Chains A and B, each alone.
Chain A
Amino acid sequence: MEFLIITVIKLALIAFVLLTALAYLQWVERKVIAHVQVRMGPYRVGPHGLLQPLADVVKLITKEGVMPADVNRFFYLLAPFLAVMMALISISVIPFGGTIEVFGYRTNLELADLNVGLLFILAVSSMGVYGVALAGWSSNNKYSLLGGLRSSAQMISYELPMSLAIASPLLMAGSLSLREIVNSQAGFQLGFIPKWAVFSGPFPQIFAFIIFMIAAFAETNRIPFDLPEAENELVAGFHVEYSSMTFAAFFMAEYANMVTVCSVATILFLGGWHPLFPMPYSNFVAPLILAAAGALCFWHGMNPARPMDKYTLPVFGVVFLGLAGLMMFPPLVPALMPVFWFLAKTGFLLFVFIWIRATLPRFRYDQLMRFAWKFLFPAALLNLLVTGFLVALFA
């Protein structure tokens, strides 16, 4: 009973935080791309466009959902549902912090600690192909069919290097449970180099990390591998015929997939919630960053570039300083610090996703396939062989 209540509370919390984060990830993406291209980005709805995601949600809900003629009704409606379900479900096995104790109840900071957690994520993400493929097929449109075909071929091809890249840090951790994988990366070498899989071990997994991230871009259909929705040849690919909430479902699935792959990369390669710096110093990083952000807000509030900044930026400054204070509050530090480090690493990887979208052009389809099979797959295989050999020799 106790377990049930705690699980329901955690479920509600995680669902709320995740769904809000997905909406605001889109705001962050628009802002970052805008600033890369020397624009302002969303600025009208709310201060600095902060209410833009809310406005977008209202717009998408209230729009009329148009169903084109002669579609396969059942599969047409099943596809977005499948896509978003498979994207959201894998967050349930991701651990984002250690064990905490609230009012005498001890609980792990994750929903389910499976001992095959990693395989579960692989299984769910391999089922995610169905959403895109079915959407393309059932829409009765040649562009969406081409998009669906491209995406299923691409996801199958890139799943191979991705799985091989995942296998090599597993060899060093010796477990499939995500919590144990993170715990195997605790500690420091020589007192200052963290024992994350990218740095440590018999063979540093930096190549596996790069291969994993490249494959992750293809798995989530992001630029430079967003061939399934290449707008200059396929209009919008598999979701041409979707509108209103069904379109929003695909949109949400893309961002949820991004969050999942970034969390998995953090857990496998970047040591999960373990800090970058040794213990006494690592606790000061979060308050320092937040305080610096707060001070920066105040500074820009003093010299406002736009008339409203005089009022909005000091408010942000107060919020950041308050968060910095919260991070210093001794009873909360052991619970908050791991979550901070996990979110910081995942957030950085998400930023890399957005950064690359603002930087790189799209691949051609034959280049995409040739790259997967002739370079990425052999490279991942070689990396796995070397890792296995060195682990067998030294570990």
Chain B
Amino acid sequence: MDIFFFILFATIAVVCGISVILQKHPISSALSLVGVMGSIAVLYLALGAEFIAMAQIIVYAGAVMVLFIFVIMLLNAGAEQAAGRSWMAQLLGIPALLAMFGVVAYFIQSYFGNAGFMKFGNFKGGSAQSVGMALFTDYLLPFEVTSVLILVAILGAIVLARKELD
């Protein structure tokens, strides 16, 4: 049962991911990205990280992507015209992609070469309690620094918006 859902949603995630790039219309791309977020959330759920799965949907699929779509709708962006690819992209695109895959595979092999297989539902650190514990003990400094960073971003947004108003 688990393996069936894993294959189903992993396929959906990959297909939606490719569709993000191939779609001509920005709204279609954005919605494909929603599909990627949603299916990744299901994969988290299959691993046993239910809190992270729900946070993934609330934050990424529900909040971030809604803002993306809101902005696309507000700007009324239409379908894009296919521009001719530059000779560099045509010539080097596929070799560069293969090289990057090779580098990633090499690092995974050398750092996590001896890792075993993951079992479905085996992940125990995914409850609200354990995520909260980790955030407020082991990762307290990064957590606080991130909140300051977000505060700076909010202040920056207000300053930029004020300049428009004056």
Task: Using A116-B128, A126-B62, A156-B66 as known contacts, say yes or no to A133 and B54 having CB atoms under 8 A apart.
Answer: no
A27 at the interface (CB under 8 A from B): no
Task: Using A115-B50, A116-B54, A123-B57 as known contacts, say yes or no to A137 and B62 having CB atoms under 8 A apart.
Answer: no
Inter-chain CA distance A120–B45, complex, in Å, is 12
In the bound complex, residues from chain A placing their C-beta under 8 Å from that of B74 are 149
Contact yes or no, A123 B62, CB < 8 A: yes
Inter-chain CA distance A152–B55, complex, in Å, is 20
Inter-chain CA distance A152–B50, complex, in Å, is 27
Contact yes or no, B128 A148, CB < 8 A: no
B43 at the interface (CB under 8 A from A): no
Give the Cβ gap from A90 to chain B, nearest Cβ, in Å.
12
A9 at the interface (CB under 8 A from B): no
In the bound complex, residues from chain A placing their C-beta under 8 Å from that of B63 are 126, 156, 159
Inter-chain CA distance A130–B31, complex, in Å, is 9
Contact yes or no, A127 B57, CB < 8 A: yes
B150 at the interface (CB under 8 A from A): no
B123 at the interface (CB under 8 A from A): no
B70 at the interface (CB under 8 A from A): yes
Contact of B70 among A122, A126, A152 (CB under 8 A): A152
Give the Cβ gap from A333 to chain B, nearest Cβ, in Å.
36
A119 at the interface (CB under 8 A from B): yes
Chain A 55-92: CB-based contact to B (< 8 A → 1; otherwise 0): 00000000000000000000100000000000000000
Inter-chain CA distance A119–B62, complex, in Å, is 12
A153 at the interface (CB under 8 A from B): yes
Beta-carbon contacts under 8 Å, A190-206 to B: none
Contact of B128 among A122, A145, A176 (CB under 8 A): A176
A114 at the interface (CB under 8 A from B): yes
Give the Cβ gap from A391 to chain B, nearest Cβ, in Å.
14
Residue on B with the closest CB to A115?
A: B50
A380 at the interface (CB under 8 A from B): no
Inter-chain CA distance A19–B54, complex, in Å, is 27
In the bound complex, residues from chain A placing their C-beta under 8 Å from that of B70 are 133, 149, 152-153, 156
Determine the main DSSP class of A at the interface with B: helix
Task: Using A119-B55, A120-B54, A127-B62 as known contacts, say yes or no to A156 and B67 having CB atoms under 8 A apart.
Answer: yes
Give the Cβ gap from A77 to chain B, nearest Cβ, in Å.
14
Task: Using A126-B62, A129-B66, A152-B66 as known contacts, say yes or no to A116 and B50 having CB atoms under 8 A apart.
Answer: yes
In the bound complex, residues from chain B placing their C-beta under 8 Å from that of A134 are 27, 31, 69
Give the Cβ gap from A227 to chain B, nearest Cβ, in Å.
15
Task: Using A137-B27, A156-B63 as known contacts, say yes or no to A122 and B58 having CB atoms under 8 A apart.
Answer: yes
Inter-chain CA distance A268–B129, complex, in Å, is 19
Inter-chain CA distance A134–B66, complex, in Å, is 10
Residue on B with the closest CB to A122?
A: B58
Inter-chain CA distance A156–B57, complex, in Å, is 14
Inter-chain CA distance A119–B128, complex, in Å, is 10
- Residue in A115, A116, A152 whose Cβ sees the most chain B Cβ within 10 Å: A116
Residue on A with the closest CB to B57?
A: A123
In the bound complex, residues from chain B placing their C-beta under 8 Å from that of A149 are 70, 73-74
B16 at the interface (CB under 8 A from A): no
In the bound complex, residues from chain B placing their C-beta under 8 Å from that of A130 are 31, 34, 66, 69
Beta-carbon contacts under 8 Å, A108-155 to B: 114-116, 119-120, 122-123, 126-127, 129-130, 133-134, 136-137, 145, 148-149, 152-153
Inter-chain CA distance A123–B60, complex, in Å, is 10
In the bound complex, residues from chain A placing their C-beta under 8 Å from that of B57 are 123, 126-127
Contact yes or no, A129 B62, CB < 8 A: yes
Contact yes or no, A137 B73, CB < 8 A: yes
Contact yes or no, B66 A148, CB < 8 A: no
Inter-chain CA distance A137–B77, complex, in Å, is 11
Residue on B with the closest CB to A119?
A: B54
* 11 additional A-B residue pairs with CB within 8 Å, beyond A116-B128, A122-B54: A114-B50, A116-B54, A119-B58, A119-B128, A122-B62, A123-B58, A123-B61, A127-B57, A127-B62, A137-B69, A149-B74
Q: Which 5 A-B pairs have the closest CB atoms?
A: A126-B62, A119-B54, A123-B57, A116-B50, A123-B58
- Using a CB–CB cutoff of 8 Å, the interface residues on chain A facing chain B are 75, 114-116, 119-120, 122-123, 126-127, 129-130, 133-134, 136-137, 145, 148-149, 152-153, 156, 159, 176
